[in-house]
Amino acid sequence: MPTPVTILWFRQDLRLLDNPALEAALLAAPHVAPVYILADNAPIGGAARWWLHHSLQALSAALNAKGAALCLRRGDPARILPELAAELGAATVHTNICSEPHWRRIDATTEAALAKLGARLVRHRAATLFDPDQIRTKTGGIYGMYTPFANAVRAMRPPPTPLKTPDAIPGPPNSPASDKLDSWHLLPTHPDWACGLRTTWAPGEETARQRGRSFLRGAVSQYDTGRNLPGQDLTSMLSPHLHFGEISANALWHALHRKPLTPAENVYAAELIWRDFANYLLWHRPRLPDAPLRPEFENLPWRDDPEGLRAWQKGRTGVPIVDAGMRQLWHTGWMHNRVRMIVASFLVKHLLIDWRHGAAWFMDTLVDADLAANSANWQWVAGTGIDSQPFFRVFNPVSQGEKFDADGAYVRRYVPEIAALPDKFLHAPWSAPPLVLRQAGVELGATYPTPLVDLAAGRQRALETWKRTVQSAAKAA
């Protein structure tokens, strides 16, 4: 008679603390077989692949210390999991829910394939604070605005107390064969562009917990103002750890609420709820990454500007705060949230380039490339989503830089070729007198680009395009 075994399918939950699928698997059978599958049809960007490699290394070591070996497989989960279930004599596969449409499709085919063997796929909620299917308006509808959504979830019962890390995770007597992690070639080699990632990040659950504790003991006390200052280290930088599930939003929520919240802590709690809202939107509106949620923007005439897009991607727009953000992204795989809004607004409004091009670039270059948050945030900036910044609100990157990077620390770090400019001209080098430029060693168009677009003209073009699009949609209605 086969040894009772259950399969634990890791996905975006690469942790042992507060892992509902792990808890359920341990209760279901005396032996647990952990598996991670690199699904062929689950897209993952270059920076996220780098993170995944190191996160899986950390998870494998943690599981080994508890008594289990992580099985790595690559391919179609609908084929691999039934094969493993048959090999191990497992009747159940426990996993945590993912909200992305491609994962929901994979779940459906995998569940059907397992059912043919008489096995079950059992899913648990772990990525969000609240169950998106349980959050409804008073009329039973779906929330389309953040504030009513936030009020609704704050009025609900608090998220469950975080589950403890198990003392032991007994693996099956005969562990299934596993791929070698290096054979997946997740790390860049030719060229190796990950130097900045290595010096910035240490993926894994232990680092996530340390970073969370440090933030909640320190910088969170200034979060209400500090989150807007890219030149200072006052944000949590937990987004990639949250995306890969190395720490749960639930654990952060409970750690934050051990005492009454200060105003700054309440702002951070609101950011955790915004993360839930993005997942909620994707869960109920799966076209969020591909189509504007506001139908009047379906036919907005975006500009076809490959050269402008490439200049934006490389941080060569000639607008310092924009270039600093894009270079920070390329170097570290991450960008300060305030600057994300500035660079997105510049691409969509000043250059009038489709927000989906920007979203795709972020998905490839961010270590925290989360489809729900990325899509919701780009639609927010573009004004094409529900509860979005209006399209006619155009960030002025110069005034944004002067306000939030007043001493120029952020721009000087990532755009060193203009670092010698006085603060007065740092965020708008084109406004500096020729003598000041020469003294700073700046030659516009040579050592540093001239702006891709006149900011006032770009803003006016965006407003006129928006007005024509809205008028056209109204006539067609």
**% of the chain beyond a pLDDT of 70:** 99
Q: How many other CB atoms are found less than 10 A from the CB of residue 116? A: 8
Amino acid sitting at position 410: Y
Which of 184, 274, 330, 430 does the annotation list as catalytic?
274
pLDDT digits (tens, 9 = 90+) for 23-72: 999 999 999 999 999 998 778 999 999 999 999 999 999 999 999 999 99
Which of 361, 378, 380, 466 does the annotation list as catalytic?
378
378 is catalytic: yes
302 is catalytic: yes
HEC profile for 312-359?
HHHCCCCCHHHHHHHHHHHHHCCCCHHHHHHHHHHHHHHCCCCHHHHH
Instruction: Band the pLDDT of 398: cuts 50, 70, 90.
Output: very high
Chain centre distance of CA 355 = 16
CA dist., res. 451 & res. 398, Å (int): 12
271 is catalytic: yes
Q: Which comes out higher in pLDDT, residue 17 or 390?
A: 17
CA dist., res. 122 & res. 241, Å (int): 24
- 476-463-375-193 Cα dihedral, nearest 10 degrees: 140
Residue recorded with tokens 């990040």: 201
pLDDT, mean of residues 342-358: 98
**% of the chain beyond a pLDDT of 90:** 93
Helices (H) and strands (E) in the chain, counts: 21, 5
Contact (CB, 8 A) for 72 and 56:
yes
- Ordered by where they begin, the domains of the chain are 5-127 (3.40.50.620), 128-159+198-284 (1.25.40.80), 295-476 (1.10.579.10)
Q: What is the DSSP letter of 178?
A: -
The per-residue pLDDT for 1 is: 44
- The helix/strand/coil state of 286 is coil
pLDDT digits (tens, 9 = 90+) for 219-256: 999 999 999 999 999 999 999 999 999 999 999 999 99
Instruction: Band the pLDDT of 3: cuts 50, 70, 90.
Output: low
Which of 83, 111, 193, 302 does the annotation list as catalytic?
302
Which of 355, 361, 380, 466 does the annotation list as catalytic?
355
pLDDT, mean of residues 464-473: 88
380 is catalytic: no
The per-residue pLDDT for 477 is: 66
pLDDT(474) > 80 = no
CA dist., res. 236 & res. 219, Å (int): 8
148 upstream amide cis, omega within 30 of 0: no
Enter the pTM of the model: 0.96
Average pLDDT over the chain, rounded to whole?
96
The per-residue pLDDT for 473 is: 80
Which of 111, 184, 330, 337 does the annotation list as catalytic?
337
The per-residue pLDDT for 246 is: 98
Which of 271, 330, 396, 430 does the annotation list as catalytic?
271
